[in-house]
């Protein structure tokens, strides 16, 4: 029997939302590179006769009652993918056109809708063939950055657990080919200032730029998604995904490792200091008619508090890991988090 190479391997997504959940779209619109393992549906729960008196000393039954599709799509950070998965995570995405083909996608958590939106994913591998995976939702987005490194993203995805024969992806174009990976030199970290919105697009006026102090950081946004297995469905696949506990501690957190010049930010913990926080990752110009626009992934947190800190060392250097939690304003209807993705994608989840 002939052995198989790992390549060519493909993963593709459709940016149109499934209607209803789990109803596969016709075809992938883009393929993406990926660093994690190829996907295969798995058993989520199975029952046996281990606790039953059966007349025999060994198991005779193994019945699958629930299946799942789970993966962590891992990749160097690109605006195209960040826009798709952040839109799936939050559920609210709105594009505006500043000039030409450029789009600013303003993305937030839609707290009015507990049901997560889903898209269809396809994969092709030499050993397993071309497969289709419906009902793909995003449950967590992690973006990390560090000096001298590319920015990285990890998108935790869950599908309904079904898989079927899929399309050949080899002829589909790679995701926005004009985009380039975002890296450490593109990152600005700001703290403080005043958050406001104009037509729903947030900004922070007069913050303090602490980029020079920051050694590394990680943003984690989580919706705590839970699979819904409905009565009367007649199959072993989930019938939807719903948001979990929006008061969970890991709902929206930011970790920064800094080189403290003094006790300013170390005093925030016990003083319970509230502050705005902004992490802006601005890449290359779009060029041409859109030359004034830049491929961007921008995170804004209107209200945060440091909930953990400590002092540590790196060689002879004093460092301090800080963990921020994003909170909800009690007097102003601002989001807990807002992401702005700037690229040439017309719309997500249309």
pLDDT at site 172: 83
Which residues lie closer than 8 Å to 7 by C-beta, 6 or more apart?
126
Q: How far is it, in rounded angstroms, from Cα 253 to Cα 219?
A: 6
Q: How far is it, in rounded angstroms, from Cα 305 to Cα 74?
A: 29
Q: Cα-Cα-Cα-Cα dihedral of 136, 226, 231, 115, to 10°?
A: -70
Instruction: Write down the pTM of the prediction.
Output: 0.96
Q: How far is it, in rounded angstroms, from Cα 44 to Cα 235?
A: 13
pLDDT at site 296: 98
For CA atoms 45, 51, 54, 55, give the dihedral sign.
Answer: positive
213 φψ region: left (φ > 0), alpha (ψ -120 to 50), beta (else): alpha
Cα Rg, the chain, nearest whole Å: 22
pLDDT at site 216: 98
- DSSP E strands in 115-186: the ranges are 119-125, 129-146, 152-159, 164-165
pLDDT at site 313: 97
pLDDT at site 175: 61
* Terminal Cα distance for the chain, rounded: 45
Burial of residue 282 (number of CB atoms within 10 Å: 0-12, 13-18, 19+): middle
The mean pLDDT values, 10 residues at a time, for the chain of 350 residues are 89 94 91 92 95 93 95 96 97 95 96 94 95 98 98 98 94 77 98 97 98 98 96 94 92 98 95 97 96 98 98 97 96 95 93
């Amino acid at each position: 029997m002939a052995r198989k190479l790992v390549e060519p391997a493909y993963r593709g997504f459709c940016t149109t939302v499934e209607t209803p959940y789990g109803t596969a779209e016709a075809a992938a619109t883009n393929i993406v590179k990926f660093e994690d393992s190829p996907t295969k549906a798995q058993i989520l729960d199975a029952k046996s006769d281990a606790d039953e008196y059966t007349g025999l000393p060994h198991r005779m039954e193994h019945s699958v009652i629930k299946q799942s599709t789970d993966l962590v799509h891992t990749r160097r950070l690109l605006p195209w993918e960040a826009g798709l998965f952040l839109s799936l995570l939050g559920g609210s995405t709105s594009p505006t056109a500043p000039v030409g083909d450029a789009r600013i996608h303003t993305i937030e958590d839609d707290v009015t809708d507990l049901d997560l939106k889903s898209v269809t994913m396809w994969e092709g591998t030499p050993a397993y063939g071309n497969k289709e995976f419906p009902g793909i939702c995003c449950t967590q987005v992690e973006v990390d950055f560090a000096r001298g490194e590319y920015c990285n993203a990890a998108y935790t995805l869950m599908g309904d657990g079904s898989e079927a024969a899929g399309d050949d992806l080899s002829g589909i174009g790679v995701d926005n080919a004009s985009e380039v990976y975002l890296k450490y030199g593109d990152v600005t970290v700001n703290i403080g200032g005043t958050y406001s919105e104009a037509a729903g697009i947030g900004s922070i006026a007069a913050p303090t730029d602490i980029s020079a102090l920051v050694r590394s950081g990680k943003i984690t946004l989580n919706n705590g998604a839970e699979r819904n297995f409905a009565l009367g469905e007649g199959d072993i696949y989930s019938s939807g995904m719903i948001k979990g506990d929006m008061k969970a501690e890991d709902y929206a957190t930011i970790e920064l490792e800094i080189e403290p010049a003094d006790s300013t930010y170390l005093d925030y913990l016990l003083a319970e200091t509230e502050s705005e926080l902004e992490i802006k990752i601005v890449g290359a110009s779009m060029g041409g008619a859109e030359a004034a626009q830049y491929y961007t992934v921008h995170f804004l947190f209107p209200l945060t508090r440091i909930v953990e800190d400590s002092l540590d060392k790196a060689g002879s250097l004093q460092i301090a890991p800080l963990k921020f939690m994003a909170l909800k304003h009690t007097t102003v209807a601002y989001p807990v988090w807002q992401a702005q993705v700037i690229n040439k994608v017309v719309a997500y989840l249309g």
